[in-house]
């Protein structure tokens, strides 16, 4: 008889109150384990933050979802490098599934502000650069792309959760339209396509591009 079968039979043999107690203990262990994992991830992010800030290479990897604490870490690193090494070039490698539009635009604006202040920032697409990550790619003075990397462009979306009045829903639609306009303007600025053409291509579908097509359409400057 296997250990798993033995444990199952032992559990079945328990009285209902004993099974309930055992399940409660198991849930307690699961909760404690989840807490430890969350704490470990927080410590890892703090270590990554310190490593990025104190790096002398000034090479930023955006290799996770663009949201919340991730965006804060990347912005903090850029600001640290700008203060410590004013004017020194920075390379940003991007391999990301995308994420929050507002968090992404905050990071995009940080990169563009630094460029206007004299910091050279180049971006590189590697692996899969999707959704909001494609917007960040456009922040580079030179936008590079690995030969077998892929871009994914699709219509950005913001969600409204909960019960809201008709007026609040209308306000949110206005806000969502503003975000869409920002994304289209950024994508069209250096590409060979107009905002209308991009909106037509991304409407209600995922639009994948290989390196050659991305270069042809002006979403990158060079393939390596």
Catalytic residues: 131, 154
Distance CA 81, CA 94 (A): 18
Q: CA-to-CA distance for 156 and 177, rounded, in angstroms?
A: 10
Nearest to 149 by CA among 203, 194, 100, 215: 215
Number of C-beta neighbours around residue 114 at 10 A: 20
Distances in Å between the Cα of 215 and the Cα atoms of 123, 203, 209, 223 are: 14, 21, 9, 7
| Residue 157, φ and ψ in degrees, nearest 5 | -140, 145
3-state secondary structure labels for all residues of 185-204? HHHHHCCCCCHHHHHHHHCC
Residue found under tokens 């979802």: 65
């Amino acid at each position: 008889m296997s250990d798993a079968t033995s444990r199952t039979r032992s559990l079945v043999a328990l009285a209902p109150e004993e099974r309930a107690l055992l399940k409660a203990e198991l849930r307690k262990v699961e909760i404690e384990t989840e807490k430890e994992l969350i704490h470990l991830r927080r410590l890892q992010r703090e270590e990554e933050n310190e490593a990025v800030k104190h790096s002398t290479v000034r090479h930023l990897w955006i290799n996770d979802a663009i949201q919340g604490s991730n965006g804060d870490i990347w912005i903090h690193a850029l600001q640290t490098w700008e203060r410590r090494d004013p004017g020194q070039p920075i390379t940003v490698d991007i391999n990301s599934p995308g994420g929050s539009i507002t968090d992404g635009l905050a990071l995009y604006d940080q990169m563009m502000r630094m460029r206007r202040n004299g910091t050279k920032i180049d971006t590189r697409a590697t692996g899969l650069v999707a959704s909001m990550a494609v917007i960040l790619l456009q922040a580079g003075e030179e936008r590079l792309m690995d030969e077998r990397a892929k871009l994914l462009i699709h219509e950005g979306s913001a969600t409204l959760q909960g019960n809201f009045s008709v007026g609040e829903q209308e306000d949110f639609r206005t806000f969502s339209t503003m975000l869409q306009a920002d994304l289209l303007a950024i994508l069209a600025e250096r590409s060979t396509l107009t905002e209308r053409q991009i909106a037509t291509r991304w409407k209600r579908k995922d639009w994948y591009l290989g390196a050659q097509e991305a270069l042809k359409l002006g979403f990158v400057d060079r393939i390596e």
